[in-house]
Amino acid sequence: MIKNDLFLRALKGEIVDRPPVWMMRQAGRYLPEFMELKAKYDFFTRCQTPELASEITVQPIRRYGMDAAILFSDILVIPQAMNIEVEMKPNFGPYLPNPIKSPKDLDRVIIPNIEESLGYVLNAITMTKEKLQDEIPLIGFAGSPWTILCYCVEGQGSKSFDKARGFCFTQPEAAHQLLQKITDTTIAYLKAKVRAGVNAVQVFDSWGGMLSPVDYQEFSFQYIQQIVDALKDDAPVIVFGKGCWFALKEMAQSGASALGVDWTCSAQNARYLTGGNITLQGNFDPARLLSPPETIKKMVDQMIREFGKDKYVVNLGHGILPHIPVENARAFIDAVKEYTE
């Protein structure tokens, strides 16, 4: 039994004394102890070495005592396992030297055996669970199929992913074939993570907001729906679409346990668009963690009042930024833990 099950209770919509709190990208680059490991090991070495990944996962828990841990990994381990080369270039980000450009390129894309190709992630889960000793739940995650496609076609990060969108609009058949392969792999991957011990999963649709509402349904949400349908009986599923406020109504009917909200959508609008019956997660602007700690505390209190303490998980509206002072991150976490009505 998980000793602090506040996060899992909030996902079920139970009445709680205060909402749970964790931060997207909490295991990472704003922490000095993480930067020490970063100086010694390259990015994918950290992802692929269970001892390192599990250590990085628990670093923020030791320092701040969040109500949930999220496994240190990356959404791009999926294309790597699918036989699509992915590099992480320092001061540049993800780089895929052989992006998908045509239906012919899909011939080399495989649906892998998860235990063989991503066994290191499953081993990291086992090690992390040992370190956590059932104190708090562990979250596993994956990128949405659309977000993964964006990198596979664009070959790198982008502000607008024009190549990825162009691929979908000019070669829709190939796009759907690739999206289905990514979906099938992601379902198998998340199911393996649940079997390995994660207590909940989150699907990150980081680039969903690049699509129009109509195109979002065709190229993103129908594939997220497949993932939710496949996983919802195994573990709670959180869906987070950045910039996807327009899809919150459909998302609320998907069977997901919770929906992530970014900082451009107010608590009032998020509750209205989702019908007020589903747990919401978010939505503190990550850059607001640069504010003084006393301001952060006031803003967190206000945010909780606006969302309401029940059916709510306190989080950022996207991942924590690398240059956030550690004391400001602490102010954010402590404000939630000290919250009283």
* 180 marked among binding-site residues: no
Bridge partners, residue 69, by sequence: 138
What does the radius of gyration of the chain's CA atoms come to, in whole angstroms?
Answer: 19
CA distances in angstroms from 32 to 27, 50, 185, 322, 333, listed in the order given: 11, 20, 34, 10, 18
Q: What share of the chain is helix, strand, coil (3-state, %, to 5)?
A: 50, 10, 35
* 108 marked among binding-site residues: no
* 276 marked among binding-site residues: no
The residue among 186, 14, 10, 177 whose CA lies nearest residue 105 is 177
Q: In whole angstroms, what is the distance from residue 230 CA to residue 223 CA?
A: 11
* 29 marked among binding-site residues: yes
CA distances in angstroms from 255 to 96, 128, 236, listed in the order given: 34, 28, 9
* 206 marked among binding-site residues: yes
Q: In whole angstroms, what is the distance from residue 211 CA to residue 244 CA?
A: 9
* 63 marked among binding-site residues: no
DSSP H stretches of helix in 155-221: 162-170, 172-196, 213-216
Task: Collapse the DSSP code of 140 into the 3-class scheme (helix H, G, I; strand E, B; otherwise coil) and give the result.
Answer: strand
Bridge partners, residue 141, by sequence: 202
Give me 170's structure tokens. 């000019």
Q: In whole angstroms, what is the distance from residue 102 CA to residue 287 CA?
A: 39
* 215 marked among binding-site residues: no
The residue among 59, 65, 310, 70 whose CA lies nearest residue 202 is 70
User: 33 with 56: CB under 8 angstroms?
Assistant: no
Give me 144's structure tokens. 């949405």
Q: In whole angstroms, what is the distance from residue 69 CA to residue 271 CA?
A: 26
* 74 marked among binding-site residues: yes
- Residue positions in the annotated binding site for substrate? 25-29, 44, 74, 151, 206, 318
- Residue positions in the annotated binding site? 25-29, 44, 74, 151, 206, 318
